[in-house]
A and B are shown apart, each in its own frame.
Chain A
Amino acid sequence: MDNKDENVVRDAAMPTTPRVGVYICRCGGNISDVVDTEHVAEICRLIPGVAVSKVHTFMCSDPGQQTISDDIKQEKLDRVVVASCSPFLHELTFRGAVVRSKMNPYLYEQVNIREQCSWAHKHDPRGATAKAIQLISAAVGKVSRATPLAKIRLPNHRRALVVGGGPAGMKVAADLAACGISVVLVEQSDRLGGKLHTLNRLFPTGQAAIQLAAKMESQVLADPKIEILLNSKVTKVSGFIGNFEVGIHGNFGPSGKTTEIHTTVGVIVMATGFKPYVPREGEFNYKKHPTVLTTVDFNSLLATQNTEGRTLHYEGRSIGSIAFIHCVGSRQVDGVHTPGPDGRLNTYCSRVCCTTVLNQALQVRQRFPETRVYDLHQDIRTYGRGHEEYYTDASRAGVVFFRYHGDEPPTVTNANGPTSPLRINVKDYLSWGEELELEVDMVVLAVGMTAGPCETLVDQLKLPRGEDDFLQEIHPKLRPVEISVNGVLLAGTSQAPMNIQETLAAAGAAAVKARAMFTTEEVELNPYVAQVDTHLCEGSGVCLTQCEYDGALAMVETQENGHSVRKAQVNPGLCVGCGACVAVCPTQAINVSGWRIDQYDAMVDGLVRDVEPAMV
Chain B
Amino acid sequence: MAGKFNPDLHLDITGFGGKDIDMCMNCGTCTTICPMSEDSGGGFPRRVIRLIQTGQQSKLEETLDPWLCYYCGDCTTNCPRQANPAETMMASRRYLTARYDFTGLAKLFYKSAVAEILAIILVGLFVTGLFVAFHGPMVLNKVELNTFAPVHAVELGDWIMAAVLSFFLLAGAARMTWWTLGRKKMFRISPLIFIQQIPVFFVHLFTQKRWKKCGSHHSGIRWMKHLLLVSGYLSMLTLVLILLRWFQTDKIYPFYYPQRLWGYYATIALLYPTVDFMISRWRRKEPIHLFSEASDWIFLVMLFLTALTGIMVNIFRVGGLPMATYLIYVIHLSIAVPMLVVEVPFSKWSHIMYRPLSIYLYGVKQAATRANRAADEPASEKVAA
Interface, chain A (partner B; CB < 8 A)? 321, 372, 380, 391-392, 395-403, 425, 428, 430-432, 434-439
Contacts and interface: CB of A to CB of B under 8 A. Distances in A.
A437 B2 CA distance: 6
A428 B47 CA distance: 13
A372 B7 contact: yes
A435 B7 contact: no
B81 A428 contact: no
Interface stretch (B20-28, B183-191, B307-315): B20-28
Dominant secondary structure of chain B at its interface with chain A: loop
Contact of B1 (A321, A399, A430, A435): A435
Interface in B1-41: 1-5, 7, 10, 20, 22-26
B263 interface: no
Nearest to B4: A437
Given A372-B7, A395-B22, A437-B2, A400 B54 contact: yes
B23 A436 contact: no
Contacts of B26: 401, 403, 430
B1 A434 contact: yes
Contact of A439 (B3, B5, B22, B54): B5
Interface string B33-53: 000000000010000001001
Contact of A434 (B3, B22, B23, B25): B3
A395 B23 contact: yes
A430 B50 contact: yes
Nearest to B3: A436
Given A400-B7, A436-B2, A431 B25 contact: no
Nearest to A434: B3
B23 A392 contact: yes
A397 B23 CA distance: 9
Given A321-B7, A396-B22, 14 more contacts: A395-B22, A395-B23, A395-B25, A398-B22, A401-B25, A401-B26, A402-B54, A425-B2, A428-B54, A430-B50, A434-B3, A436-B2, A436-B54, A437-B4
Contacts of B43: 432
6 contacts: A372-B7, A397-B22, A425-B2, A430-B26, A431-B54, A432-B43
Contact of A395 (B1, B4, B81): B81
Interface in B297-325: none
A392 to B, nearest CB: 7
B23 A400 contact: no
Interface residues of B, number: 18
A435 to B, nearest CB: 5
Contacts of A432: 43
Given A392-B23, A398-B22, A435 B2 contact: yes
A444 B1 CA distance: 26
Contacts of B23: 392, 395-396
B22 A436 contact: no
Contacts of B7: 321, 372, 400
A217 B7 CA distance: 45
Interface of B: 1-5, 7, 10, 20, 22-26, 43, 50, 53-54, 81
> Most chain-A CB neighbours within 10 Å: which of B4, B26, B43?
B26
Contacts of B24: 395
> Most chain-B CB neighbours within 10 Å: which of A431, A432, A438?
A431
Nearest to B55: A400
Contacts of B3: 431, 434-437
B204 to A, nearest CB: 28
A434 B3 CA distance: 8
A402 B3 CA distance: 13
Closest 10 CB pairs of A and B: A430-B26, A437-B2, A435-B2, A438-B5, A398-B22, A436-B3, A395-B23, A395-B22, A372-B7, A431-B50
Nearest to B47: A432
A439 B3 CA distance: 12
> Most chain-A CB neighbours within 10 Å: which of B4, B5, B25, B26?
B5
Contacts of A431: 3, 50, 54
A195 B10 CA distance: 38
A485 B263 CA distance: 96
A435 B26 CA distance: 17
Contacts of A437: 2-5
Contacts of A434: 1, 3
Given A434-B1, A437-B5, A439-B5, A392 B81 contact: yes
A569 B5 CA distance: 78
Contacts of B20: 396
A439 to B, nearest CB: 7
Nearest to B7: A372
B41 to A, nearest CB: 12
A380 B27 CA distance: 12
Nearest to B42: A432
Contacts of A425: 2
A236 B53 CA distance: 58
Contact of B5 (A391, A392, A436): A436
Contacts of A401: 25-26, 53
Nearest to A400: B53
Contacts of B81: 392, 395
B253 to A, nearest CB: 62
A403 B2 CA distance: 16
A415 to B, nearest CB: 12
Nearest to B83: A395
A521 B5 CA distance: 70
A400 B23 CA distance: 9
Contacts of A392: 23, 81
A419 B2 CA distance: 23
Contacts of B50: 430-431
Contacts of A380: 25
Nearest to B26: A430
Contacts of A435: 1-3
A437 B5 CA distance: 7
Contacts of A321: 7
Contacts of B4: 437
> Most chain-B CB neighbours within 10 Å: which of A391, A396, A399?
A396
Contacts of A438: 5
B147 to A, nearest CB: 63
Nearest to A435: B2
A403 B25 CA distance: 10
A395 B83 CA distance: 10
A402 B81 CA distance: 17
